[in-house]
Structure 1
Amino acid sequence: MKIDWIAKLRHFLQIVAFCLAIAAIYYAFMPYKPYEIALVYSLSIGLLSWVLIDFGRHFFPSSDETGWPEGAVGIALPLVGNVLGYLGGTLFADRWFGFSSWNLEDRPQLRISIGVTVLSALALTYFFYSRGKSAWLQAKVTEVRSQATEAQLKLLETQLEPHMLFNTLANLRVLIGTDPARAQAMLDRIIAYLRATLSASRSTLHPLAHEFDRLRDYLELMAVRMGPRLAYTLDLPDTLRDAPVPPLLLQPLVENAIRHGLEPQVDGGHITVRASTRPGASGPMLVIEVNDTGAGLPDALPTPGPGQSFGLTQVRERLATLHGAAGTLELIAASPIGTSASVVFPLKFSPSP
């Protein structure tokens, strides 16, 4: 029997607050009796009833929806608990004050006492029952949202992988006609890259170190075709190696830098990928920059479509799916030449010191 003691403490405080309210109402209708009497009777009956019901339910199978015992037990437990709580709590308070609540000569007082107890018991039972069901429904909604997010990320990833593969095969096709030896080397790199990528576990997130490893494989693959025209630097602090990121998040940015930045230049250029953090309104933000020394941004970005800004659109959609407005992608002109792509989103783990 596993008990959530934090939840029990919260229930205890709620019961105490409810008993204080009942005692105040009782005193308002009978101001000629000291408030301390109403308070002791209310706390005695309320707390004993709560202990019998809230702890007693753990001895019976409970519904996943409400955390409440199923079947006849679910009805009998609050009834028996409240009756025993009323009898035991009243007896305790009688002993405390030296009273006798079972004096039949004071029947109006007895009826009021029983009536208040019954109404209070019904209100409390409904409150805890509805709270349990509401918590279950909220958990199911959270679960469904999580599954929908994962499904959407999977869909975006499955759209992105063929896009990357087709672009790589197009590059290979060019080399086959111009430099068969380098085409063979590039084909070997493609096989190794796909083996490493496709054999990895299929998940919506993986460590940033894995993302940098796949990025290094891709850049080495592109270096076979471009030769000395492509140089790169990968800067990943050890403290951020385990930061969770979506797979293939950075590759479209690097692919975009090569295609639109380095390739149009005769001398090629240099690509730097750097990870860092910065303060945010709700905690630290992970910042990943892809900087190149290429041709720079055009006056107007092409409309997303086949072969046009597809990767950038995918990156933005994946960030929005995971982080909403907190995940951003910005393209800015670098100084003195080139382009800088900056991805920023909340850091979901604590970096090691």
Structure 2
Amino acid sequence: MNTSKISKKNWFWILQLLGWGIPGCLIMYTKFNYEKTLSQTYIVSEAILFTGAGILFSSLLWLLIRNKILIEIISVRVIVRILLIYMLICLSMTIFVEALVYLLYVNIENKELDRSLNDYILNFINISVILFFWLILYFSINSILRAQKGKVEGLQLKSTLRESQLNTLKGQINPHFMFNSLNNIRALMLEDVHKSREMITKLSELLRYSLNSNKVDKITLEEEIEIVNNYIELSKIQLEKRLRYHEEIEEGILDIEIPPMLIQMLVENAIKHGVSNQIGGGVVSLKIRTENNNLQIEVHNTGELKESGSTTRIGLQNISERLRLLYGATSFFELKEEGNEVVARIKIPLDE
């Protein structure tokens, strides 16, 4: 931070020196070539005086504008104040330069300086023009820097908002069946203690996975599928043979990364709003493959697509929003009914 501020100050003084040094050099060049009666000492002294005075009064103008006027709020009142300050600085610099030029001329040339009113007016106009262009340059550079700063802050805000949105969405995707699973496991303990302990382990792994999903944006397919299998096993405690599950996963793709709890949410939706509503139960099929440099994920379940159920809508909206935040328009998600099945499809670009 300090280095950046020092660098900006250095640039300000470098530009000041260049901005006023060039007119000073032009004065020196002109008088060397067209005013042969003047001594070299006086010409160099006058050029140095003009350069120094320019730096002094433009810096004063900068301080007055920066400290006394809120530049961000542009209004007629602000513009009038800037113009008044500008005119005051121009007049002050003209008087200052004329006074010192007179003293330099008398002491170096050893004679009175003969100046007319037109000379004073012309000098005032020259100083006003140079300071006007200085003012335009200052506001231009200031606007560019402020725009760049705003752009950076906007990107940082967008990134922070995106991260916050993702964490909020992931925080909403918690398994809805935890309470029922605990009750089912409690009943199972009377029949099969070993099976109950195994299910408690799976439930704890699923809960830990759900809590940790807020800390990362992506996990491997292998990790996600392991949690899906745990979820299926827990669901079978209640649904038993009514739930049948199949997987078709392309070989060699388990290390591909996807958003956490993405497939789990689709499978949960398929079971809760599909298979569990069927008297004879049904089948949930998970199909994952790569195609055209995209990861294709499909979850099929027997049943019908019903628009009722706010929890379903919220869950599916979360999936769609998470994909949009992570991949933008390059991702794809749909849920539709095909024949006697409901199919959820997700497409994720592999080059992201």
Task: Decide whether the 8 Å contact of 2:224 with 2:263 is kept in 1.
Answer: yes
Indicate whether 1:144 and 2:157 are aligned: yes
Indicate whether 1:311 and 2:315 are aligned: yes
Q: Identify the range of structure 1 (205-214 vs 127-136) with the bigger mean alpha-carbon deviation.
A: 205-214
Q: Identify the range of structure 1 (141-150 vs 169-178) with the bigger mean alpha-carbon deviation.
A: 169-178
Q: What's the CA shift string for 1:15-44, capped at 9, x where partnerless?
A: xxxxxxxxxxxxxxxxxxxxxxxxxxxxxx
Distance in 2 (CA, whole Å) between partners of 1:244 and 1:220 is 22
Note closer, same or farther for the CA distance 1:216–1:342 as it changes in structure 2 (3 Å cut). Answer: same
Query: In structure 1, what residue type is equivalent to 2:16?
Result: L
Q: What is the match of residue 215 of structure 1?
A: 228
Q: Identify unmatched segments of 5+ residues in structure 1.
A: 1-59, 279-283
Instruction: Give the alignment's TM-score, normalised by structure 2.
Output: 0.58
Structure 2 counterpart SS, 1:301: coil
Q: What's the CA shift string for 1:106-152, capped at 9, x where partnerless?
A: x9999999876655444334323321221112211221222222222
Indicate whether 1:62 and 2:4 are aligned: yes
Kindly state the Cα deviation for residue 257 of structure 1 after the two structures are TM-superposed: 1.4
Q: How does 1:238-253 map to 2 (within 5 A)?
A: 238=252, 241-245=255-259, 247-253=260-266
Task: Decide whether the 8 Å contact of 1:150 with 1:204 is kept in 2.
Answer: no
Distance in 2 (CA, whole Å) between partners of 1:166 and 1:319 is 29
Q: What is the match of residue 103 of structure 1?
A: 34
Indicate whether 1:83 and 2:20 are aligned: yes
Q: What's the CA shift string for 1:207-245, capped at 9, x where partnerless?
A: 343433433443344456656643321526646844452
> Which of 258, 261, 264 is equivalent to 2:271?
258
Distance in 1 (CA, whole Å) between partners of 2:224 and 2:245 is 19
Distance in 2 (CA, whole Å) between partners of 1:239 and 1:115 is 71
Note closer, same or farther for the CA distance 1:331–1:172 as it changes in structure 2 (3 Å cut). Answer: farther
Task: Decide whether the 8 Å contact of 1:273 with 1:288 is kept in 2.
Answer: yes
Distance in 2 (CA, whole Å) between partners of 1:241 and 1:101 is 78
Q: How does 1:271-282 map to 2 (within 5 A)?
A: 271-278=285-292
> Which of 288, 301, 304 is equivalent to 2:307?
301
Kindly state the Cα deviation for residue 83 of structure 1 after the two structures are TM-superposed: 2.2
Distance in 2 (CA, whole Å) between partners of 1:156 and 1:167 is 23
Query: In structure 2, what residue type is equivalent to 1:303?
Result: G
Task: Decide whether the 8 Å contact of 1:235 with 1:275 is kept in 2.
Answer: yes
Kindly state the Cα deviation for residue 249 of structure 1 after the two structures are TM-superposed: 1.9
Percent identity between the two aligned chains: 23
Structure 1 counterpart SS, 2:8: coil
Task: Decide whether the 8 Å contact of 2:320 with 2:333 is kept in 1.
Answer: yes
Q: How does 1:1-353 map to 2 (within 5 A)?
A: 61-63=3-5, 68-69=8-9, 76-86=13-23, 103=34, 119-161=132-174, 163=176, 165-166=178-179, 168-169=181-182, 171-172=184-185, 175=188, 182-195=195-208, 198=211, 200=212, 202-209=214-221, 210-222=223-235, 229-233=243-247, 235=249, 238=252, 241-245=255-259, 247-263=260-276, 264=278, 266=280, 268-278=282-292, 287-292=296-301, 294=302, 296-298=303-305, 300-305=306-311, 309-322=313-326, 328-335=332-339, 337-344=340-347, 347=349, 350=351
Q: What's the CA shift string for 1:175-221, capped at 9, x where partnerless?
A: 457766543432232133334554x4743511343433433443344
Structure 2 counterpart SS, 1:272: strand
Distance in 1 (CA, whole Å) between partners of 2:283 and 2:268 is 13
Query: In structure 1, what residue type is equivalent to 2:165?
Result: Q
Q: What is the match of residue 89 of structure 2?
A: none
Note closer, same or farther for the CA distance 1:74–1:162 as it changes in structure 2 (3 Å cut). Answer: same
Instruction: Give the alignment's TM-score, normalised by structure 1.
Output: 0.57
Query: In structure 2, what residue type is equivalent to 1:342?
Result: R
Q: Identify unmatched segments of 5+ residues in structure 2.
A: 37-118
Structure 1 counterpart SS, 2:246: strand
Note closer, same or farther for the CA distance 1:113–1:302 as it changes in structure 2 (3 Å cut). Answer: same
Q: Identify the range of structure 1 (249-258 vs 263-272) with the bigger mean alpha-carbon deviation.
A: 263-272
Q: What is the match of residue 92 of structure 2?
A: none
Note closer, same or farther for the CA distance 1:81–1:329 as it changes in structure 2 (3 Å cut). Answer: same
Query: In structure 2, what residue type is equivalent to 1:290?
Result: V
Note closer, same or farther for the CA distance 1:286–1:115 as it changes in structure 2 (3 Å cut). Answer: farther
Task: Decide whether the 8 Å contact of 2:300 with 2:343 is kept in 1.
Answer: yes
Question: Between Structure 1 and Structure 2, which shows a larger proportion of helix residues?
Answer: 2
Note closer, same or farther for the CA distance 1:131–1:109 as it changes in structure 2 (3 Å cut). Answer: same
